[in-house]
Structure 1
Amino acid sequence: MKRTQLFLIFCVWLPMSVMGRSGNASSVSSSKPSALNIGALFTLNSVIGRSAKPAILAAIDDVNSDSSVLPEIKLNVILRDTNCSGFLGTMEALQLMEEDVVAAIGPQSSGIAHVISHVVNELHVPLLSFAATDPTLAALQYPYFVRTTQSDYFQMYAIADLVEYYGWREVVAIFVDDDYGRGGISVLGDALAKKRAKISYKAAFTPHAPKSAINDLLVGVNLMESRVYVVHVNPDSGLTVFSVAKSLGMMSGGYVWIATDWLPSLLDSSATSDPDTMSLLQGVIALRHHTPDGDLKKSLMSRLNNLKNKDIANFNSYALYAYDSVWLAAHALDAYLKEGGNISFSNDPTLHDSNGSTLRLASLRTFDGGQQFLQTILSMNFTGVSGQMQFDRDKNLVHPAYDVLNIGGTGFRKIGYWSNYSHLSIISPEILYTRPPNTSTASQHVYSVIWPGETAAIPRGWVFPNNGKPLRIGVPNRVSYKQFVAKDNGPPGVRGFCIDVFEAAINLLPYPVPRSYMLYGDGKRNPVYNNLVDAVAADKFDAAVGDMTIVTNRTKIVDFTQPYMESGLVVVAPVKEKKSSPWAFLKPFNALMWCVTGAFFLLVGAVVWILEHRINHEFRGPPSQQLITIFWREHSEHTGSNGADYMVICSTNYKFKLHC
């Protein structure tokens, strides 16, 4: 009997064990696993990586200690170092996918994110990136890429608003020539175009470019007209740009430097506030991710500061986004499992090794519930240490906002905020969200800025380029009236009253104007001025200086300055003097007008006599006296000679009274 029972138990156990070991041929599922793996891909030894690693580990500990999220399930993290290399990052991503991870945190590099996104798209594993800010990653081409930080799309529109606020029209973009740099600067060009501004020059350099290459680049930039520079580079090598600029004298008055969020991230993570480093950045404007102050943020920062090593003074905003990325994955996994989702992986028949390959592609398996899990992630809504973690329909975090900083002294001060809700403001975005949105020009405000050169005056933002072509000034080569303009053997090659006036006007300008005088005519006879004007209109000359008369046909094709002297030409005409006449006062009116005036004079007098005869004793007596009184009253009414009387005689016995 015992042997029969043992045989039945063996028969039941054997198929189950076979099924358990057949994971390479079919899917492995578990409705409630005891542990789940998530991956983390970023460069560990970098400005962002040194802050992100302790934040991710702290988030894992917090999730595992919170019984309300993923109860009885342990969340594990598998770290992989991408070493700032697209190739190595791809290899590390493939090795990470062999561990059956349900989500991947990272990477920090936009270039690596582009490559890894193809991997996670194939294996249906959501990629939660806390630092890849390239706007093009939001394309429909990368459905499994989820950005848990702010896109550079909003940052570039913040810079465009700053450019418009200060009245500049052209900027020079200095950026690293990779996906991160090109994507951001492309959006900046579009944002400036909407503000009627533009990028006058794109100064790109390769990643890890030597200092000599950056020096050559800035030398060329310094010869251009624009003095407004937007620096969009990586935090690990960005200070080299300012070091070279300092040596070239480009951190002095008249220059404007605007740095993207890489600079505050670097300064927040620096071990000490190096005076030499801060001296390179005096007057720079920088943008930093706005993360609202709250108890969660303060508690996390306090804990991380106790864990920091000697290379970290503080934790930048990317550490906060990395922390929230882990919690986003945990909340989404918890909701996914409660909705009945299973954690299962299947082999992809398209992934296999051939011709003796040892890449082990067959070990890469697809997350069966990846699509459902992705939708769960995008539907999450909770408050993290970086603010509200909620996505809009374009998979961007809601309420994008930045702090506007001005670097000076040994630190920086906050001069305002930018949000997609109300743009530039000195009021924090959290307060603005409770009010109606207002993006009008009148509502845009920031505090005063100390610009490079320790000046509070807003720089003009441009100068006349040192390498610009000199203006071609046409000058008539006259043979007469040489006092006005004539050829001269010494510099500048011409002389005369017209030249002196033009040079005086040039000297009043606050910027240099290179110019070259070009003689027009053979010097044997006076040139035809109409032809000289036509040459200016045909762009053979940029301008002309001389004793040219302003006439109608010339004003139709060129613009003239205001005349600086009179021509002296007058018209002399005889004037016949007529003798004055005592009846000259009759000339303003013709005979008919005088008759009408007299008739009205008599009519008004008769009306006055009728109204006043019975009650006013002055209108009584002999007819001659009454007639004289009437004429006297009429005279007083029309001339106002009797200031004590009314202009119109009124009687108090009537119900109406005229006011004069």
Structure 2
Amino acid sequence: MVQGYCIDVFLAAIKLLPYAVPYKFILFGDGHKNPNYAELVNMITSNVFDAAVGDIAIVTNRTKIVDFTQPYAESGLVIVAPVKKLRSNAWAFLRPFTPLMWGVTAAFFLTVGVVVWILEHRINDEFRGPPKKQIITILWFSFSTMFFSHRENTVSTLGRLVLIIWLFVVLIINSSYTASLTSILTVQQLSSPVKGIDSLITSNEPIGYQIGSFAENYLIEELNVAKSRLIALGSPEAYRTALEKGTVAAVVDERPYVEIFLSDYCRFQIVGQEFTKSGWGFAFPRDSPLAIDMSTAILTLSENGDLQKIHDKWLNKRGCGSQSSQNQSDQLQLQSFWGLFLICGIACLLALIIYLCLMLRQFSQHYTDSSEPSRHGSSRSARLQKFLSFADEREEIWKSESKRKRMEMLSRANERELESMDGSKRVADICHEKYNVDT
């Protein structure tokens, strides 16, 4: 008596045909070893079989010699590998972020602190003082924004703009960190040295596959995996033994087989993403009308729900098969936050450029007013020292000094004007006395 998932689908579909089709099932294989599916398909072209009914994957090489029906089951190659539980330790609080994410975040904390100090140094007494005090202020202000507990007030418009943007970035980072840490500490975490097909290919570790599956040709021809790395396995027990003993680093097989395997062996797990998309179909000779009519019948089964019922009857996952089938890292990557860091970096850069332009303008006015003709030829180093000294002064001192110098210049101008008027008056008196001219 022949029965199974594929047989039930075939019988349900053939009943929907508008005409009677006599059939007889002939077993293929010896019943002990997995048969070669490529050989089974080739036997249709040689007229040994009129059709092939089974879990036959629809792949390119096979579609060139036979016609397949509409896929009645989704399939695709996945990787199953051993996993281990990650236990919490004293450094579990560092796991939400990757090392690169931690480094970039710390660098931005310091950068924002320095930028705010530059923007506030000339006008805010809280950002002034001895060098040691200023360094402590920068560090304290930088990392206190993490908890929104900075006590220093920002006075300048540019400083407030930078701080608002940075506090928004800190809010997002804090929320993401809290959510990720909560997940890590409360949800069971699994880890595997194999992260996906890319890491499996580059690892040079042995890879297991099911005997007779198209996975062997796919790994060799499409992914350029050396044939010496591939180890053929014929049963779920062989999968378990090879994975436990380390004979293979992982097994590559079609998802339906793997899901049935995982329903009995919970210590293994699907890692990475499904890296091929295919399906199972029934094979018929080229230009056979049965291929088209059976495809229509399979679509009817799918629409009325019978196909799903047959699937649940034979392939319904049980036991630990309902666990998550993907092993994904819970660590937050820098790629998830680079947009926020970019916005904050641009804001800091624009604020510094605007501030520098204003400073150069003020210094130019101050330098022109205070310089004497003999000092115009001073060296660049001397001018740079003056600029740094000017940037370190309080803005109120610069304004009061500029105001004083303007008053002095105005007073000198008035004195020169009075002296000029007195000189004109003396000349007029002399002329009057000498020529007796009535003014």
Same fold (TM over 0.5): no
> Larger radius of gyration, structure 1 or 2?
1
When normalised by structure 1's length, the TM-score is 0.18
Higher strand share: 1
Higher helix share: 2
